[in-house]
Amino acid sequence: MTVQISIRPSDHTFGCEPDETVLQAAMRADLMIPYGCRNGACGTCKGRILDGSVDFGAHQPSTLTDDEKRRGIALFCVARPRSDLVIEVRIMLPRMLDERSKELLREFGRINGEGVRE
């Protein structure tokens, strides 16, 4: 059964199929949640579950502690929804940007010393 995931504070909503992680579903909807390793090791995709429940998935115990799980923190690259979700993530950008937008983001990244993913 497809569940619905809503992101705060941006208010984007997208569907997640039973075999998908939150990150996979977001990417399929052309939405960008920050990520790195995609296997529960780096913590880049860490965010908060405001409502609903997840299977936290396989991850490094040091990357997501039991205490964090009790407080509703999850790694969205490996978390699979068990219900409709409302989540909070640090940053979200549309994956599909036009070339001018990518150019501006690259320039902005250089100014701030940060990388920009495409």
Per CB under 6 A, residues contacting ligand FES are 35-38, 40-45, 63, 75, 77
Q: Which two tokens stand for residue 77?
A: 């690259």
CB of 11 to ligand FES, least distance (A): 23
CB of 98 to ligand FES, least distance (A): 26
Using the minimum distance from each CB to ligand FES, give the nearer residue, 36 or 103: 36
Using the minimum distance from each CB to ligand FES, give the nearer residue, 3 or 59: 59
Rounded Cα gap, residues 43 and 39, in angstroms: 9
Q: Which two tokens stand for residue 81?
A: 């929804």
CB of 68 to ligand FES, least distance (A): 12
Rounded Cα gap, residues 49 and 45, in angstroms: 12
Q: Count CA atoms closer than 13 A to 116's CA, side-chain side.
A: 17
Which position's Cβ is nearest ligand FES? Answer: 77
Using the minimum distance from each CB to ligand FES, give the nearer residue, 3 or 75: 75
CB of 104 to ligand FES, least distance (A): 25
**CB 75, CB 45: distance < 8 Å:** yes
Give the single-character DSSP code of 45. Answer: T
